[in-house]
Amino acid sequence: MAAIQAQFRQIKTFILDVDGVLTDGSVNLLASGERFRTVFIRDTYAIEQALKAGFRVGILSSSSSEGVRNWLIAMQVKDIFMGGPSDQKINAYLGYIARDGLNEAEILYMGDDLPDFSILSRPNVVSTCPADAVDEIRAVCQYVSPKSGGRGAVRDVIEQVMKAQGKWGI
């Protein structure tokens, strides 16, 4: 645990998947064909606190939902990369870090399923996942949250990082 705490002290950017990380992976379908997702308010609070403390928060998802995008914009998340083939997430990730000159050792990435594998298995990124991530993802991650996706996993990692840096609290 001491090794991951040392890595948490270096984090400046959180990059999060949506489905299975910010949500529990469920997609509700309306008769109109519209799909909606549910997010956990404690995860939302943690993202707001991270932004207030000066951390970057990026969203990287192969799904594209205007409801999710509007929610993120309302929270003032600026780096939103949504849509595109799930097997191309790595390209969006690499483009983002190149565009903004980000150092991978200062990035915490949280994903839960196989499309996240190529990012989570990179040697310098701090790889994390929810407790209910698929086996292959849990096996490659440096930190597995005790919380499930959409039920506090995001809050857990943000709080852990901010506590390690003395930035969490009232």
Residue 112 is labelled as binding a ligand: yes
3-state percent helix, strand, coil for the chain, nearest multiple of 5: 40, 15, 40
Through-space distance between the first and last CA atoms of the chain, rounded to whole angstroms = 25
Q: What is the pLDDT of residues 2-22, one digit of tens each?
A: 889 999 999 999 999 999 999
Q: Is residue 170 part of a domain?
A: no
Residue 90 covered by a domain: yes
Query: In the prediction, which pLDDT does 82 show?
Result: 92
19 is in an annotated binding site: yes
Q: Is the pLDDT of residue 66 over 90?
A: no
48 is a domain residue: yes
Task: Give a yes or no: residue 158 inside a domain.
Answer: yes
Domain range holding 126? 1-165
In sequence order, the 6+-apart residues with CB closer than 8 A to the CB of 118 are: 89, 90
User: pTM value?
Assistant: 0.94
How many separate domains does the chain show?
1
Tens of pLDDT, residues 73-126: 999 999 999 987 777 899 999 999 999 999 999 999 999 999 999 999 999 999
Residue 65 — very low, low, confident or very high, per pLDDT cuts 50/70/90? confident
- Identify the three-state secondary structure at position 93: helix
Here the CATH number for the domain that contains residue 104 is 3.40.50.1000
